[in-house]
Amino acid sequence: MLIKMSRPSDCNESQVTPEALYLSRRRVLGGAVLAGAGALLPGLAMGAAPGAYDGVAPSAAPGWFRQKLPDTRWQAVTVQGESITPFNDATHYNNYYEFGTDKGDPARYAGSLPTEPWSVVVDGEVGKPGKYALEDFMKPYQLEERIYRLRCVEAWSMVIPWLGFPLSALLKQVEPTSKAKYIRFETLVDREHMPGQRSGFALINWPYVEGLRMDEAMNPLAILAVGMYGRELANQNGAPLRLIVPWKYGFKGVKSIVRITLVEQQPATTWQQIAPSEYGFYANVNPTVDHPRWTQARERRLPSSLFSPNVRETLMFNGYADEVASLYSGMDLRVNY
């Protein structure tokens, strides 16, 4: 199958929108937001499955999100020849261990997590450290829709339309010092609302931590997302702010971020600490380097079932090699998995 991804700079706003999809999007966004935004919406990727946005819950977006939405660059990046995963699968088959280890636990329990007000600390090796209310944190950035493949290390995958802004834009804003070599992200700790954090069986030493090398973080594909499917992020997907790095396994995409720290040393990350022989710091999608317990050559694209497993070949760097392979030139990817 031929899979073509637009360059980050491409904008496919001239693409024709099937009416059914356009109408689904109108439903997604809700009348109030749409009143001002309808004329600007170009619609979905050509590969979007009819009904992909069906069942999207009415938006309960905070005011700052609603104000930003009309200026969104729709389909700033998209995938061609593939269908967007139905909203229901993207929001009911999740990994978010703070809410439990079953794929249904996040949808079951995350709804009661308070995500407003929310604040984000930016600190470490930056010229402009600070603690920001999310609406202030978001002020400088235009939202972009990025339709990306998501490949979990467990060998399932989806295609999700995120709404966010380039991580590089934040980094420029906070003025990294010359010592800033890595960026470390931390998820909220809230034992009252996150039952997984109360569990005595949890392997994770909370908070959930992830990290990137600075040049990875500056790559135009890396975004901080605040929305999906034309609305705000669902709590189970990491509301109100999460990382998306589509060429890496999904576990790098840390959810519900409360702290972003620029550091000199490579940060100790959650899964690497738990099982260093299975999960590395880089975690680039690589069909030629198997997980010790299963192959990474193939993946199950959701929706999938026993009768229709929907298995496909995994692509190097999840199909984003043109954009990111040069970050790793000279590195042995078997060692730096």
The answer to the question of whether 252 is labelled as a binding residue is no
Beta strand 156-166 with 144-151: parallel, antiparallel or unpaired? antiparallel
291 beta partners? 294
Residue 100's SS3 state is coil
Please, what is the minimum distance in Å from the beta carbon of residue 227 to ligand MTE?
Answer: 12
Binding positions for ligand MTE, 126-165, rule CB under 6 A: 150, 152
The answer to the question of whether 254 is labelled as a binding residue is yes
Residues 201, 205, 207, 213, CA torsion sign: negative
The answer to the question of whether 253 is labelled as a binding residue is yes
**314 dihedral zone (left: phi>0; alpha: psi -120 to 50; beta):** beta
Please, what is the minimum distance in Å from the beta carbon of residue 188 to ligand MTE?
Answer: 8
Beta strand 130-133 with 79-80: parallel, antiparallel or unpaired? unpaired
Binding positions for ligand MTE, 53-72, rule CB under 6 A: none
Specify whether the CB–CB gap between 152 and 90 falls below 8 A: no
Please, what is the minimum distance in Å from the beta carbon of residue 175 to ligand MTE?
Answer: 27
Please, what is the minimum distance in Å from the beta carbon of residue 206 to ligand MTE?
Answer: 9
Please, what is the minimum distance in Å from the beta carbon of residue 205 to ligand MTE?
Answer: 12
From residue 91 to residue 130, what is the string marking binding to ligand MTE with x (rule CB under 6 A)? ---xxxxx--------------------------------
3-state secondary structure 179-205: CCCEEEEEECCCCCCCHHHHCCCCCCC
Stretch that binds ligand MTE, among 89-97, 163-171, 172-180, 274-282 (CB under 6 A): 89-97
Nearer to ligand MTE, 65 or 271 (CB): 271
CA distance 78 to 136: 28
The answer to the question of whether 209 is labelled as a binding residue is no
Binding positions for ligand MTE, 226-245, rule CB under 6 A: 237-238
Please, what is the minimum distance in Å from the beta carbon of residue 102 to ligand MTE?
Answer: 12
Q: Which two tokens stand for residue 15?
A: 């693409």
- Write the CA distances from 102 to 3, 99, 215, 242, integer angstroms: 32, 9, 34, 20
CA distance 194 to 199: 9
Single residue of 253, 259, 260, 261 touching ligand MTE by CB under 6 A:
253
Q: Is 193 in the site for ligand MTE (CB under 6 A)?
A: no
Nearer to ligand MTE, 253 or 319 (CB): 253
Residue 123's SS3 state is strand
Single residue of 29, 224, 254, 315 touching ligand MTE by CB under 6 A:
254
CA gyration radius for the chain? 19
The answer to the question of whether 255 is labelled as a binding residue is yes
Stretch that binds ligand MTE, among 2-10, 53-61, 90-98, 309-317 (CB under 6 A): 90-98
For 215, residues 6+ apart whose C-beta sits below 8 A from its C-beta are 327
80 beta partners? 4
Q: Is 185 in the site for ligand MTE (CB under 6 A)?
A: no
Please, what is the minimum distance in Å from the beta carbon of residue 201 to ligand MTE?
Answer: 14
**298 dihedral zone (left: phi>0; alpha: psi -120 to 50; beta):** beta
Binding positions for ligand MTE, 207-226, rule CB under 6 A: 208
Residues 169, 255, 155, 289, CA torsion sign: positive
The answer to the question of whether 210 is labelled as a binding residue is no
Q: Is 187 in the site for ligand MTE (CB under 6 A)?
A: yes
Nearer to ligand MTE, 170 or 254 (CB): 254
Under the rule (CB under 6 A), what is the footprint of ligand MTE?
A: 94-98, 150, 152, 187, 208, 237-238, 250-251, 253-255
